[in-house]
Amino acid sequence: MPTHYKGTKEEVTVLNVFIKLTRSTESLFQYLSIKLKRYGITEAQFGVLEMLYHLGPLQQNQIARKLLRSRGNITFIIDKLEKMNLVKRVVDAEDRRCTEVYLTPKGEALIKKIFPMHLKEIVSIFSVLNSNEKQLLEKICKKISKRILTQKEDKPQ
C-alpha cells in the first residue's frame, strides 16, 4: 500500500520505498518466526543461539551490540534461554561485571538442528532475486545502515 502523503516527488518516493522495505522486512520476520515457533523459540532467541554457535561464547554486551538490542532486552532473552537450559552464564572470575554466555549441549543440539532448515527457508525466499539483485540489495542495505550510523554520530549527546 503506497503512501497517501501529498508532498514533493522525492518525499513520496522515499516514503513508498520505506513502506515497501518495512513491509518486506516485517513479512520476512513474521514468516520465519512462525517456523521457529515450532521449536519453542523466538526470532530473538534464535539470533542469540545462532551467534553463540558460530562465534563461540560472548559477553552479554557483545551480543546486544551485534543483535542491535538493548542490554535489558538481551538480559531478558538470555534469562529465557537459560530457563530452557539452552545457554549458561559464566561470571568472569577477575571482573565480576563481565558475564560470558555459552551454549549448553542442549542449546547446541537445537541450533544444529534448526539452523540448516532456517537457512534453507531464507535461501528459498531470496531465490526470487538473481545474483546481481542480491548484491545490489546488500549494497543498498549497507549504505542505509552506514547513513544511520553517521546520523547517530552527528547528534549531540
Sign for the CA dihedral angle at 1, 125, 40, 62 comes to negative
Residue 155's pLDDT band (boundaries 50, 70, 90)?
low
Residue 97's pLDDT band (boundaries 50, 70, 90)?
confident
Sign for the CA dihedral angle at 9, 15, 18, 22 comes to negative
Q: Which residue has the cell 520476520?
A: 29
Sign for the CA dihedral angle at 12, 18, 21, 22 comes to negative
Mean pLDDT of 51-75: 92
Over residues 8-56, the pLDDT tens digits come to 889 989 999 999 999 999 999 999 999 999 999 999 999 999 999 999 9
Cα–Cα dist 65/96, whole Å: 20
Q: What pLDDT score was predicted for residue 154?
A: 58
Over residues 99-137, the pLDDT tens digits come to 899 999 999 999 999 999 999 999 999 999 999 999 999
Answer whether residue 4 shows pLDDT above 80. no
Q: What pLDDT score was predicted for residue 153?
A: 60
CB 63 within 8 A of CB 76: no
Instruction: Say if pTM beats, i.e. exceeds, 0.85.
Output: no
State the Cα torsion 91-112-141-38 to the nearest 10°: -100
